[in-house]
Amino acid sequence: MRIGLAADNGNWHKNRLLAALRALGVEPVLFSLADVAVVTSAAEPLRVPGFSDALPDGVLLRTIAGGTFEATTMRLGVLHALVASGVTVWNHPVAIERSVDKAATSLLVARAGLPTPETWVFSRREAAADCITREARPGRPLVLKPLFGSQGEGLMLVERPEDLPDEAAVSRVYYLQRYVPRADGLWRDYRVFVCEGRAVAGMIREGDGWITNVHRGGRPLAWAMPARAAELAEAAAAAVGVDYTGIDLVEDGNGGYLVLEVNSMPAWSGLQQVCETDIATAVCRGFLAAVRGAHRPARVVA
């Protein structure tokens, strides 16, 4: 198999995936989506570094190179073009577009009938302020999240309309979600890693503040994942259509869980510290199975 690994940063994750692919008998080509070109005069208009004579059979996507909105749009277009050419891409670009947009994720999760905190999305500050007036009060805030944010960056609690930033500061999108505190006062939530539709590992994330992301100082703790949490995470992954993902859950206070987020390019260094499953191997094994399944030889009819 001709396999590409698209990874621009995060050496720990990149090296784990490289090692897992090699252990499974595949020597991948490491490249950046930023280096892919379109040359319409060529026999194959899509030029992927390391694949001069033909496109790869599969591309495992770890990161999309950062850049402007235009650059990101082009890179997603490259992924769509690869899929249209028969290349297996994990995660699929449609799943990436759905999950990187928190509003789209919340819509899909809600339409699937899965439990999730109440969420409101507005383009106008006046509409967001009216929502805060109705739904928030001191001690009962809403969470304001960047639409395209990750790793806990840019989160803030909002209790009063005047606390809202102006439209330019939030790229003219106010994504507001009900804050769900724990009765015991702990700052704790849960991450479930789902691959090929199955919850393969999970952890508790505990912090000294309300933002529990490991990237922001949260502590990963071992977790005997209940079946109901695994099933909810699997259903959320299916609703968004991701091949592998990190699902963030919070307890609902009644013995169940709520879906907070679905991540299409999840980090797992913290999770790997507290679980026995080799996450990189699980991802690579599932990805290679998908590539093989998409490229089965034609049956010979006697």
Q: Do 163 and 228 sit in the same domain of this protein?
A: no
> What domain range includes position 32?
3-90
Q: Compare 168 and 66 and report the one with higher pLDDT.
A: 168
Q: Do 165 and 198 sit in the same domain of this protein?
A: no
170-185 residue pLDDT tens: 989 999 999 998 888 8
- The pTM assigned to this predicted structure is 0.91
Q: Do 138 and 216 sit in the same domain of this protein?
A: no
Q: Do 189 and 158 sit in the same domain of this protein?
A: no
Domain count for the chain:
3
CATH assignment of the domain containing 157: 3.30.1490.20
In a domain, 48, yes or no: yes
pLDDT at 150: 60
Q: Is the Cα dihedral 131, 135, 141, 147 positive or negative?
A: negative
Whether 44 contacts 18, CB under 8 Å: no
271-291 residue pLDDT tens: 999 999 999 999 999 999 999
Whether 301 shows a pLDDT value over 50: the answer reads no
50-78 residue pLDDT tens: 998 899 999 999 988 777 888 989 999 99
